[in-house]
Amino acid sequence: MSSTAEPTDDEAAAPVIEIVLPVRNRGPEFAADVNVLYAALAAGRAPFRLVIADAGSTDGSWLVARRLAAELPDVYAQQTHHRGRVEAVRQVWEASDADVVADLHTLSLLGRTDVLPGLADLVAGKIDVSVGAGYLAVRTVIAQALLSDMSGHVRRFEAALLAAASRHGLRVRKASRRSDLLARLLLLGRPS
């Protein structure tokens, strides 16, 4: 993964959670949303990595991603080899060393508050896959196995991954739109 700053020995330990934020031609407006998401993750106990995956932007989004990676610890900027959200997510997930990977494909307030309870349940081992408004999260070993079964370009990535999870009898949680964000944030952490 290329980032604007190489991790130090202290940062080299695998995070519990790796969230991918695919961006393409989002301009500078996504920086404020990234800062809000970062603050929510930093308030939790789980070590995390936030990867802003630029998927072929031509409008300066890559510069914004690099600036955020330089300013915020545990935030990385990566340019993907292919255009599009699916390839950006796939590239990061396949290389991840985290316990849980997530694709946050909307930076709306609903997406940010809905993803955290699903992550807490994944980290605790209660479920294998979590899907909600604007996100998809999976235990990493499961995501990598499912991705290896999904050859070529997948047009409806989330639907294909959920169908594969269902075929394999995995525990899937569809998050409700209402969640107790603060309580779930306090639960985030490596299971004992």
**What is the pLDDT, as a whole number, of residue 114?**
59
- CB within 8 A of 125, min separation 6: which ones? 139, 191
pLDDT beyond 60 at 181: no
**pLDDT digit string (tens) for 81-117?**
777 888 889 999 999 999 999 998 766 644 555 567 7
Any idea which architecture 17-187 has in CATH?
A: Alpha-Beta Complex (3.90)
- 185 or 57, higher pLDDT: 57
pLDDT beyond 90 at 134: no
- 186 or 177, higher pLDDT: 177
**What is the pLDDT, as a whole number, of residue 154?**
64
Q: What is the mean pLDDT of residues 34-63?
A: 90
Distance of CA 10 to the CA centre of its chain: 21
- Could you tell me the pTM of the whole model? 0.81
